[in-house]
Amino acid sequence: MKKLAELYRGKAKTVYTTDNPDLLVLEFRNDTSAFDGQRIEQLDRKGMVNNKFNYFIMSQLRAAGIPTQVEKLLSDTEVLVKKLDMVPVECVVRNRAAGSLVRRLGVEEGYIFNSPTFELFLKNDALHDPMVNDYHCKAFGWATDEQLAKMKELSFKINTVLSELFAKAGLILVDFKLEFGLYKGEITLGDEFSPDNCRLWEKETLKKMDKDRFRQSLGGVIEAYEEVAKRIGVPL
């Protein structure tokens, strides 16, 4: 496999084509962004930690029967993945209230839902990722009803697998964001799962161990990511 041209430079990762048209390289950079890219800082080791974290989580999910993009860990900051035709809608699963939901529904942070929620957001920084529903997805051609049903089913399955994985490490999986795409017609998990796009709280102290430390300027961002990685057994 040979890494070829830069295809896309996102806020946190750079995507490269390879000599295999079905595969891409994702390079995890140290760039850390918040508020739809309005604030960007470099955090030492973040690219390496998130790359290995993501590879570990996606491998666990694949073992649990979830179709994922992951092919091979290439280096500290690079992973080989299947090239997906991305669905431009993000799937968010929540077990407790935090972030935008607290503001939107006026509940207290940490409020425990009777059952997990599922939300869809259009991936569009300029519009601040507006919330959308199944009808918008169908009307604009972002995803079919069948694809959405699969994305929802996989999101809840991932919630079950990962809530248990983190619970064993004394951590609460508060919420997370997923991006799916199509690979040879099949809905497949893409992008990344890392402390950049989920919320994890320490069970005993409710200490935030995720990107909220960056958003809320709490300090010790990468130290928290590394602590989570260590507890769940990610080899760094």
Binding site for ligand ADP (CB under 6 A): 8, 10-13, 15, 24, 69, 81-84, 86, 179, 181, 190-191
Task: Name the residue among 142, 140, 141, 119 with its Cα closest to residue 130.
Answer: 119
Dist CA 11 CA 29 (whole Å): 9
Residues 6+ apart with CB under 8 A from 112: 95, 96
Task: Name the residue among 227, 229, 88 with its Cα closest to residue 147.
Answer: 88
Q: How many CB atoms lie within 10 A of CB 145?
A: 11
Q: How far is the CB of 147 from ligand ADP (least distance, A)?
A: 16
When the beta carbons of 37 and 170 are compared against ligand ADP, the nearer one is 37
When the beta carbons of 22 and 44 are compared against ligand ADP, the nearer one is 22
When the beta carbons of 19 and 108 are compared against ligand ADP, the nearer one is 19
Q: How far is the CB of 230 from ligand ADP (least distance, A)?
A: 24
When the beta carbons of 64 and 182 are compared against ligand ADP, the nearer one is 182
Dist CA 44 CA 29 (whole Å): 10
Q: How far is the CB of 60 from ligand ADP (least distance, A)?
A: 18
Diameter of the chain by CA atoms?
50
Contact 172, 200 (CB under 8 A): yes
Q: How far is the CB of 229 from ligand ADP (least distance, A)?
A: 19
When the beta carbons of 51 and 163 are compared against ligand ADP, the nearer one is 51
When the beta carbons of 13 and 96 are compared against ligand ADP, the nearer one is 13
Residues 6+ apart with CB under 8 A from 22: 82, 83, 183
Q: How far is the CB of 172 from ligand ADP (least distance, A)?
A: 25
CB-closest chain residue to ligand ADP: 10
Q: How far is the CB of 186 from ligand ADP (least distance, A)?
A: 13
Dist CA 2 CA 214 (whole Å): 35
